[in-house]
Structure 1
Amino acid sequence: MSAPWIYIHNLAQHEGESVTIKGWMYNKRSSGKIHFLQLRDGTGTVQGVMVKREVSEEAFENAKRLWLEASVEVEGTVRLDERAPSGVELTVTGLKVIQNPDEEYPIGKKDHGIDFLLDNRHLWLRSSRQQAIMRIRERVIWAAREYLHNEGFMLIDSPILTGSIGEGASGLFELDYFENDKAYLAQTGQLYAEAAAAAFGKVYCFGPTFRAEKSKTRRHLTEFWMLEPEVAFYDHDLNIKLQENLVAYIVEHVLLHCKNELESLGRDLSKLEKVKPPFYRITYDKAIEMLHELGSSTPYGDDFGNEDETILTQQFDKPIFVECYPKKVKAFYMKEHPENPDLVLCDDLLAPEGYGEIIGGSQREDDMKRLIARIKEEGLNEKSYDWYLDLRKFGTFVHSGFGMGIERVIAWICGLEHIREASPWPRTIYRIKP
C-alpha cells in the first residue's frame, strides 16, 4: 500500500486524499458487484465501498472470501458522507489481506448467553458495546486523576501484598510468604495512604484490590480497581465535600467527551445531567426510618444490603450520602462520633437509579488509645499494626479519606445491569479465565 497510513478517527481531515487503513473487518455485506466493508481500527469504524470495476479482480474476490475479524490493509479515497456514523466513507481502491480466519468468528450476530460471552471475553471486547464501555472507563479514570492532580493531590502507590488487614478477616485472600509468614492480597491501600498523607498532606493511591467474600450480586467483583484519596487535616464534612466535587467532575467530564458512547448504550443523559452539587445527605438513623416506611425489615444497627440501597436510591434523582453508621458494622479505623460513641464519622455515597454504594469514606481515628481498643475489639493482631500506630504516636492529626470503586462508578454512569461489563477482565467467585 503506497498511500499514507491514517487512523479512522482522523479520516475527516483527509477528504479527497488517498489513504491506507489498517485494521479488522467488523462486518460485510455484498450487493452483486459492490462490497460494503465495515472496517475498524480501534479508533473508530468506517464503511469501505468496493466497486468491482474499480479494483482488481483479485482484490474483489479476496474481499468476497473475507470472514469477520479478518485483519486487512485497505487503500481508498476519503469522501465526506453526512449519513455515515463516522461522517466519512472510503472508496476502496486496493485490499491487502493480512490474515483471514479459517473459521467463522465465534461471536456472531445472533444472541449469546452471558457465560459464553465471558468465556470469550478476549473477543467480546471487540464489540461496539464493549468498546463504548471501555472508552467510558478510560475517561472515568482520566477525569478522577485529573481532578485530584488539579487539586494538589500526589499519587502514592500502595502495595498489593500486605501483612495488615484493612477491611475484615473474612474477605482476605491469604498467601504463604516465605519463612512460614502469611501475607494477604490488599483489600485497600488506605492504611498506606494515611502514612503518605502525614508526609505529603494530600495524596491518593489507585490500583487493584481484592475481596474474598463469596458475593454473587450484580455489584460485586473479586478483583476491582479503587481510587483512594487521603487528606491531612480534613474532617468528616470536608471529606464529604471532596467526594461530591470529584463525582460531579467525573460525570461532567464523561458527558462532555463520551456522549456518543453513552447514547450507543441507550443511557438516559438527562439523569446524568442532574448530577451536580449539592448531593443529598441523610444520617443512618434517617435512612433506617425511610427504609422501614418503604417496607424494609432491616433492623436498626445492621448494615444496608443491596436491596436496601436500591430502595433508598430510587427515592432520589442525585447521589445521596448516608452518614454516621453504627460503629459495630464499620471498620476499626473510623473516628468515633463525638456526640454518640456508638456511631462513627463515616459516609457511604449511593448512586441513584438503584445502583447503590460507589464510595465508602470516613474521618480516621486519630486517638491512639481508642484505635488500639478498636483493634483489640476486632480481634486483630496489634503487632501487625505497629507501623500504623506510629502515625498516632508521632504527630497524630485529624485526617479523612475514602475509597471509590471504579467499576461501580462505570456501571452507574453507563447504566449497566451488571458490574462485570465494567471490567475488561472481570473476576468473580466463578470466573478467573480468560
Structure 2
Amino acid sequence: MTTPFTIEHIADHVGQRVTVKGWLYASTHKGKLLFLRLRDGTGIAQAVAYRPEVGDELFDELVHLGQESSLIVTGTVKANDRAPGVPGGYEIGIEAVQVLQNAVDYPIGPKEYGIEFLMDNRHLWLRSSKQWAILRIRATIKRAIIDFFDSHGFLNIDTPIITPSAAEGTSTLFEVGYFDEKAYLAQTGQLYNEANIMAFGKVYCFGPTFRAEKAKTRRHLAEFWMVEPEIAFCDLDDLIALEEEFVSYVVQTTLRERAAELALLERDVTVLQNITPPFPRISYDEAIERIHAIREATTDPQLKEFLAIEWGDDFGSPHETELTKQFDRPVFVYGYPTAVKAFYMEPWPGRPEVCKSVDLLAPEGYGEIIGGSERMSDPDVLLAAIRRHELPEANYQWYIDLRRYGSVPHSGFGLGLERTVAWICGIDHIRQTSPFPRTLKRLTP
C-alpha cells in the first residue's frame, strides 16, 4: 500500500514505498542511470531510474521528458548523503512512472536571463527553486506575524480598501470611481484601527495597501502587504518595546522553520541570529550627526554627494544604509521632524517641530521596515494639523470624534511584509518577494 507523501517530509519515509505527484525540475542521464529532480510544491527530491529495473521503454520515455513535464512517480525512499534536494540527503528509487504531460520547449532553462524576461514570465519563473524558496519564507513570515499578535491579545479586524480620503499624503493615492463619488485605494488601515481600539483595546489589520509613488527603487512596490497593530493606552516607549519583541519573534521563527530555504538562497544566517532585543535607539538629531560624520570621513565623492542632508530633511536610502552599517541589528530612529511625517503624529513635548515618531531600520542596507508613532490624542491639536495640511475637514470629522469621546494615549505602527521578506531572505530587489509584483512599469502578468 502506498503511503501518503510529500517531499517536505521525505526524511520520515526512509524504506517506504511512496508516490510523488509533481513536475520534472531537471534531469541527468549517465549510461544505465537517469537522475530526475522532482518537485511537488513542498520540496525537491532526486529520483533514480535504473534501466535494467524499469525496462527500456520507460527508461527511454523518461530520458526524453522536457523540463516541467508533469508526472506521478512511485518508488522507495532511500537515505543518500550525496543526493541533492530540499531537503537533501534522500532519493527515491523509481519503480513506476505515469507521465501526465511531456512539456516541450519550456522557456526558462538553466542559463542566465535578463530580469525583464523573467518578470514577463513571472507565472513560470515562480517554479524556479529560489523563487519557490522566497515565497515559502514569505508564507512563514506572514504566519509568524499573525501568530505573534494573536498570542499577545490583539484582535484581527479588517479595514476598508476603498477610502474617501488620504491617510499618508495626497500625492500617493490611486483614485478609483465609487459610483458617483471620488474614492481612493487605501494607503493604510491605521485611521480605522484607531476607531477599533476604542472598542477592543488592541487590534491589528493585515492586508494589501497601495501607494502611487513614481519610484523605481529596489524598495518600492505600488501594491504591498502591511500589518498594522494599534494599541490603546500605549506611548512611544511602549511601542518601541513591542516592535523589537515582534521583529525578533518573526526572524527567529523563520530561522527555525525555513532553514532549508534560507540555505538554498545562500543567506548568511549569522546576521539574522543576532536579531534579539534590545535594539539600539538613536534620535533623529543623533542620526543627522552620525550621517554628517560619515560624510565628512568618506573619500568617495559619489557617497559624499548622496549623503548630503540637513536637519529637517527625510532620510533617503543612502542615509539609512550608512546608518545601519554602524549596528549589528536593526536600529530605531525616533523623533523625526513633524514636517516629514504624517499629520496625525503627537508633537514632542516642548518641541513642536518634532513628532513622537519612530522608524525601524533593518541592517545590511535594507532600510525602513517599520514606521510608527504615538498618535495625537487631543481633538483641537488634530484639527489644527488637518487644517495645516489643507485636508478636507468633512472627511475627518469621524476621526476627530475619536478624540472627543474617551480619548486616550495610543500608538501603532506598520510593517511592510515585502521589505521584511527581502531583508530576511537577503535578496536585492523587493519585486521577487511578491508572487505578481506591481511596480511603476509593471502591471502584468
Q: CA deviation at 1:183?
A: 0.6
What is aligned with 1:254? 254
What is aligned with 1:411? 422
Structure 2: gaps (5+ residues): 296-306
Q: CA deviation at 1:76?
A: 1.1
Amino acid in structure 1 at the alignment position of 2:443: I
Residue by residue, what CA displacement relative to the aligned partner does 1:311-359 show, whole Å, maximum 9, x if unpaired?
1111111111110111111101100111211110000100111111000
Aligned residues of 1:232 and 1:397 also touching (Cα < 8 A): yes
2:80 counterpart of 1:69: no
Find the aligned partners of 2:44 and 2:22 in 1 and give their Cα distance.
10
2:274 counterpart of 1:274: yes
2:240 counterpart of 1:229: no
**CA 1:22–1:5 in structure 2 vs 1: closer, same or farther (change >3 Å)?**
farther
Amino acid in structure 2 at the alignment position of 1:97: V
Q: CA deviation at 1:59?
A: 1.5
Residue by residue, what CA displacement relative to the aligned partner does 1:161-199 show, whole Å, maximum 9, x if unpaired?
1112110000000111112x1110000010011111111
Amino acid in structure 1 at the alignment position of 2:11: A
Per the alignment, in what secondary structure is the counterpart of residue 139 of structure 2? helix
Find the aligned partners of 2:384 and 2:38 in 1 and give their Cα distance.
63
Of stretches 60-69 and 227-236 in structure 1, the one that deviates more from structure 2 is 60-69
Find the aligned partners of 1:23 and 1:420 in 2 and give their Cα distance.
27
What is aligned with 1:433? 444
What is aligned with 1:125? 126
Find the aligned partners of 1:64 and 1:263 in 2 and give their Cα distance.
30
Per the alignment, in what secondary structure is the counterpart of residue 208 of structure 2? strand
2:83 counterpart of 1:81: no
Aligned residues of 2:3 and 2:16 also touching (Cα < 8 A): no
Per the alignment, in what secondary structure is the counterpart of residue 278 of structure 2? coil
Aligned residues of 1:5 and 1:21 also touching (Cα < 8 A): no
Q: CA deviation at 1:245?
A: 0.6
What is aligned with 1:53? 52
Find the aligned partners of 2:43 and 2:23 in 1 and give their Cα distance.
11
What is aligned with 1:327? 338
Per the alignment, in what secondary structure is the counterpart of residue 294 of structure 1? helix
Aligned residues of 2:344 and 2:382 also touching (Cα < 8 A): yes
Q: CA deviation at 1:9?
A: 2.2
Q: CA deviation at 1:8?
A: 1.6
Q: CA RMSD in A?
A: 1.2
Find the aligned partners of 2:317 and 2:423 in 1 and give their Cα distance.
14
What is aligned with 2:43? 44
Find the aligned partners of 2:341 and 2:25 in 1 and give their Cα distance.
49
Aligned residues of 2:24 and 2:69 also touching (Cα < 8 A): yes
Amino acid in structure 1 at the alignment position of 2:376: E
Of stretches 223-232 and 125-134 in structure 1, the one that deviates more from structure 2 is 125-134
Find the aligned partners of 1:76 and 1:87 in 2 and give their Cα distance.
16
Find the aligned partners of 2:129 and 2:366 in 1 and give their Cα distance.
24
Aligned residues of 2:236 and 2:411 also touching (Cα < 8 A): yes
Per the alignment, in what secondary structure is the counterpart of residue 391 of structure 2? coil
What is aligned with 1:14? 13
Partner of residue 351 from structure 1, selected from 362, 366, 369: 362
2:372 counterpart of 1:361: yes
Residue by residue, what CA displacement relative to the aligned partner does 1:40-97 show, whole Å, maximum 9, x if unpaired?
1011111111111111333222212200000001111222222224332111111111
Find the aligned partners of 1:88 and 1:294 in 2 and give their Cα distance.
51
Find the aligned partners of 2:130 and 2:248 in 1 and give their Cα distance.
24
Aligned residues of 1:265 and 1:414 also touching (Cα < 8 A): yes
What is aligned with 2:241? 241
Find the aligned partners of 1:362 and 1:67 in 2 and give their Cα distance.
54
Q: CA deviation at 1:17?
A: 2.6
Alignment of 1:155-234 (within 5 A): 155-179=156-180, 181-234=181-234
Find the aligned partners of 2:259 and 2:72 in 1 and give their Cα distance.
30
What is aligned with 1:336? 347
Aligned residues of 1:5 and 1:22 also touching (Cα < 8 A): no
2:29 counterpart of 1:30: yes
Amino acid in structure 2 at the alignment position of 1:331: A
Per the alignment, in what secondary structure is the counterpart of residue 217 of structure 1? coil
Q: CA deviation at 1:4?
A: 4.4
Find the aligned partners of 1:433 and 1:374 in 2 and give their Cα distance.
39
Q: CA deviation at 1:5?
A: 4.6
2:379 counterpart of 1:379: no
Of stretches 33-42 and 54-63 in structure 1, the one that deviates more from structure 2 is 54-63
What is aligned with 1:98? 100
TM-score, normalization by structure 2: 0.95
What is aligned with 1:310? 321
Aligned residues of 1:361 and 1:403 also touching (Cα < 8 A): yes
Find the aligned partners of 1:345 and 1:380 in 2 and give their Cα distance.
21
Find the aligned partners of 1:279 and 1:12 in 2 and give their Cα distance.
38
TM-score, normalization by structure 1: 0.97
What is aligned with 1:134? 135
Structure 1 moving runs of 4+ over 6 Å: none
Per the alignment, in what secondary structure is the counterpart of residue 205 of structure 1? strand
Amino acid in structure 2 at the alignment position of 1:363: E
What is aligned with 2:410? 399
Per the alignment, in what secondary structure is the counterpart of residue 19 of structure 1? strand
Per the alignment, in what secondary structure is the counterpart of residue 242 of structure 1? helix
Find the aligned partners of 1:335 and 1:60 in 2 and give their Cα distance.
71
Find the aligned partners of 1:393 and 1:382 in 2 and give their Cα distance.
15
Aligned residues of 2:422 and 2:428 also touching (Cα < 8 A): yes
Q: CA deviation at 1:15?
A: 2.5
Find the aligned partners of 2:4 and 2:411 in 1 and give their Cα distance.
51
